[in-house]
């Protein structure tokens, strides 16, 4: 990984962690300080689950679209899977 790519990744992850910590503080401090350590874990879990499901849906939809296009053209296009 190049230096610029590494710096970009660090900046993105750092910004996410900072936003996550800020949101956790805003939610937990007005009466629920015990949640402060659990909220970042919950946010991360939700983002990973939603994001991976979204990407899986995109890939499956693209695969289905290619398969349908090949069927409609009489199989003249190469189709993966």
pLDDT of amino acid 30? 83
- For 40, half-sphere exposure in the C-beta direction (CA atoms, 13 angstrom radius) is 11
- The answer to whether 64 and 71 are in contact (CB under 8 A) is no
Query: What pTM, to 2 d.p., does this model score?
Result: 0.64
pLDDT of amino acid 79? 56
| 27-55: pLDDT as tens digits | 888 888 888 889 999 999 999 999 999 99
Asked whether residue 2 carries a pLDDT value surpassing 80, the answer given is yes
Asked whether residue 73 carries a pLDDT value surpassing 90, the answer given is no
What are the residue boundaries of the structural domains of the chain, listed by start? 3-72
Asked whether residue 74 carries a pLDDT value surpassing 80, the answer given is no
Among 51, 42, 46, CA closest to 24: 42
């Amino acid at each position: 990984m190049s230096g610029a790519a590494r710096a970009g990744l660090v900046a993105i992850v750092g910004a996410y962690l900072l936003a996550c910590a800020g949101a956790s503080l805003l939610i937990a401090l007005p009466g629920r300080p015990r949640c402060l350590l659990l909220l970042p874990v919950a946010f991360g879990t939700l983002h990973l689950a939603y994001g991976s499901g979204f990407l899986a849906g995109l890939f499956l939809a693209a695969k289905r679209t290619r398969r349908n296009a090949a069927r409609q053209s009489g199989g003249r296009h190469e189709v993966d899977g």
